[in-house]
Chain A
């Protein structure tokens, strides 16, 4: 029993990190209606920026205080998110979904290549940014890094929800998420809103990189997180900020259970397949996800 609960806890914590990446999908999708297939690569770019401004700078003989390093990292990913939107997706506004999908595939390969070109293919060790170790809670152990990440995800979800429903900028983004023509008619600059969404999505992805990689190994393989979070975003509903962490919990817990009980019987295949089986099930049964926007058919 204790063992089972421990598995559930670990699954939940990991699931909330998936949820964090899923939020970055959602933020971008809402405004631009683009599912950024390269979101995993965006996480990797964020991680390499972080490495550059921390361990990398120190190794080159220019040590930067951690707080400043983080600030520079997030400034860098603002510039990065803006550039991707401006150079690739803005010129494609109004193009077919297929064109945009192919552009996403191209971006994925492009970013993979560029990352390798700039930072090389070898893996790097990331500095410890979040405290290491585990919190003892009765008989259970909670990984401190993941626990902080989980709390961050929950706080971010609440904050973003308030942002999208109360602030003026957030309401602009919400209007754009609903309908571009209506947003235009109310004087919302749709382009500006989409740019803001990309920047915000890139920042969230980078925050996920911090949680995921603090004190661990950074390699190009980390990009897989993008494809792990995609089923989470779909399950939660592509328009729903609050759906993302909930779906993350569900998928994280099922993945942990599969990993504990089914993997020994399936040569470790079950837990890897599970999110994608869930994704196909969602698409078949409830394509708008748990909390996504179902078209209101009544006019």
Chain B
């Protein structure tokens, strides 16, 4: 459904952040993109949604296609019309609008009033806490409540592909778990395709169909959930398990470096 082929992204005309990134999201899959801080995950997502402009960034090479349509340099409005919505990093609710208005902004491209109303009910069904908050000013909600508004707002656009940038940021572990469960429930019931960026590698991998790992602007590893869960590097460096406890030892580091070179 979504393909990135050899994408380079440059900020401010000089700083190259993505180097020949390749990524594929198949219809109906939940794909997770992992990586350390500054690896280029957000940059990848912004490139997909056409949002690099406001950061003075641009895709300088490669091709992004959504359902066969070239969207590499498309307008963000056209990308949303084509069925893809991104929930940005950092809880960007429309602060001074109410929760209800936030949700309705999500549906601003749709004129089918009855269907919009039905979707609103669906959103309430996925997030039962929302109906009580409808008249509240979104900027004063708690982090968890904001995240519900953000995902609900994205769903109101009725996307086929939903992109989420670190939805669990700043949430308590229990809330993070609930959030992931809700996301995979929405994915299942709505037949949605999901691309998810996460720091919470363990829970994210557990929910996904396929995963990519990014380092220094490149994809260094990818595979199905099973293969990622079984991969020793992923275990050590993203899941903090097994040999990771001895990671400080010189031998282990050297061992990792060698493998890393091989992976890169």
Contact = CB atoms under 8 A, between A and B. Distances in A.
Given A172-B105, A186-B108, A239-B96, A299 B91 contact: yes
B42 to A, nearest CB: 12
B81 to A, nearest CB: 6
Interface string A44-75: 00000000000000000000000000000000
Contact of A171 (B88, B90, B105): B105
Contacts of A166: 104
Contact of A293 (B50, B77, B86, B96): B96
Contacts of B175: none
Contacts of B79: 187
B260 interface: no
A20 interface: no
Given A165-B101, A171-B105, A184 B94 contact: no
Interface centre among A182, A188, A298 (most CB of B within 10 A): A182
A181 interface: yes
Contacts of A296: 95-96, 139-140
Contacts of A172: 105, 108
B157 A187 contact: yes
A95 interface: no
A296 to B, nearest CB: 4
Nearest to B56: A94
Contact of B49 (A175, A180, A185, A189): A185
Interface residues of B, number: 33
B104 A186 contact: no
A178 interface: yes
A132 interface: no
Contacts of A179: 92, 94
A174 interface: yes
Contacts of A175: 94, 97, 105, 108
A187 B109 contact: yes
Interface string B85-123: 111101110111100010011111101000000000000
Given A171-B101, A171-B105, A174-B105, A189 B91 contact: no
Contacts of B76: 184-185, 187
Q: Which range holds the interface residue count of chain A?
A: 20 to 34
A180 B54 contact: yes
B96 A186 contact: no
A189 B80 CA distance: 11
With a 10 A CB-CB cut-off, give which of A180, A181, A239 has the most chain B CB atoms. A181
Contacts of A168: 107-109, 111
Interface string B49-79: 1110010000000000000000000011101
Interface string A267-299: 000000000000000000000000001001011
Contacts of B101: 165, 171, 174
B88 A174 contact: no
Contacts of B77: 184, 187-189
Contacts of B85: 185-187
A242 B200 CA distance: 44
B108 A182 contact: no
B137 to A, nearest CB: 8
B106 A186 contact: yes
Nearest to B97: A174
Contact of A298 (B50, B94, B108, B140): B140
B153 interface: yes
Contact of B75 (A171, A180, A189, A293): A189
Nearest to B78: A187
A171 B104 contact: yes
Nearest to A181: B54
A165 B49 CA distance: 26
A256 B195 CA distance: 62
A218 B130 CA distance: 54
A160 to B, nearest CB: 15
Contacts of A187: 76-77, 79-81, 85, 108-109, 157
Interface in A195-248: 239
A15 B109 CA distance: 38
B91 A178 contact: no
Contacts of A298: 139-140
Given A185-B49, A185-B76, A186-B80, A178 B54 contact: no
Interface in A151-182: 165-166, 168, 171-172, 174-175, 178-182
A175 B105 CA distance: 7
A35 B251 CA distance: 63
Nearest to A165: B101
Given A174-B101, A175-B97, A187-B109, 10 more contacts: A165-B101, A166-B104, A174-B94, A175-B105, A179-B92, A182-B94, A184-B77, A185-B87, A293-B95, A293-B96
18 contacts: A171-B104, A171-B108, A172-B105, A175-B105, A178-B96, A181-B88, A181-B92, A182-B92, A185-B51, A185-B92, A186-B85, A186-B157, A187-B81, A187-B85, A187-B108, A188-B105, A296-B140, A299-B91
